[in-house]
Structure 1
Amino acid sequence: MPQANRILVVDDHREFGDFVQRVAAKAGFEVSVATSGAEFKDVYHAVQPSIVCLDIVMPTEDGIELMNWLAAERSRAAIYIITGHSPSFARAAVAIGRSRGLNIVGVLQKPVSLDALRNILKAARDGTDMVAAD
């Protein structure tokens, strides 16, 4: 069962995870950061996050493969797709995740602004879904 106010970020660029961690911690969230698919899987079980921020383009194991894994795990977490690629790429990732029964709530388009991240965190805290950039 996902634990409220727990966020797990997986992004091969550690700086992005650190950015989310700093901002979310100030908003009262517990944040864990993984930089690879293997690390993500280990941390996911330990943390049981209510929110997952999932980078789609990563070396070795990409976000689509991790979405397949999350679907097999029957994840209930609210999932935000992270990408620095074109919005059409992000829309395809959202469609893939939703087709696998995942709770894809939106997209964080890099570079993510501080205001956009704060708005998403506020929506999560308030229990409302918010799409950052769909």
Structure 2
Amino acid sequence: MNDEDRGKRLLVVDDDDDICEIVAEVAEGVGFVVATISDARVFEATYCEQRPHVVVLDLNMPGTDGIELLRVLGENKSAAAVFLMSGVDNRTLASAQRLGKTYGLNMLGALQKPIQISTLEDALSGCL
């Protein structure tokens, strides 16, 4: 099966399995093939294996954080579109988005937790 047959791939990175499940269900509903991880330590290996078109990334992960994972994406010259997802304030989200852009990443925006399903659907539908 080649990449075209697999569809658009999305990687969800969040330490909360429930959030991963919700985002995965919504993403699959709009047409993505989804992988999820809740352990940031396997992020780089999973990213390289999955080669996602879109990454939904929580900023607050135990042991590391989304900022470090943005750096990893930048070092890997990632072409994936990136949505940040967090309950932090908007100023922090905006700063993280700017940092992602300095790493050369395609930063699509931020999704505020708690996630609004309709907002998530609209954001992900725009990536297909």
Q: TM-score, normalised by structure 2?
A: 0.91
Q: CA–CA distance in 1 between the matches of 2:103 and 2:122?
A: 27
Is residue 67 from structure 1 mapped to residue 66 from structure 2 by the alignment? Answer: no
Corresponding residue for residue 31 of structure 1: 34
Query: Quick one: percent identity of the two aligned structures?
Result: 34
Q: CA–CA distance in 2 between the matches of 1:121 and 1:87?
A: 20
For the aligned residue pairs, the C-alpha RMSD in angstroms reads 1.4
Q: How much does 1:63 deviate?
A: 0.6
Structure 1 unpaired stretches of 5+:
126-134
1:36–1:61 contact (8 Å) kept in structure 2:
no
Structure 2 unpaired stretches of 5+:
none
Q: CA–CA distance in 2 between the matches of 1:93 and 1:14?
A: 23
Query: Where do residues 94-113 of structure 1 align in structure 2 (5 Å cutoff)?
Result: 94-113=97-116
Cα displacement string for residues 45-84 of structure 1 (whole angstroms, at most 9, x for unaligned residues): 1110000011111111111111111101000000001110
Q: TM-score, normalised by structure 1?
A: 0.87
Partner of residue 58 from structure 1, selected from 61, 64, 67: 61
* AA in 1 matched with 2:58: D
**Deviation above 4 Å: which 4+ runs of structure 1?**
none
What is the aligned length?
Answer: 124
Corresponding residue for residue 47 of structure 1: 50
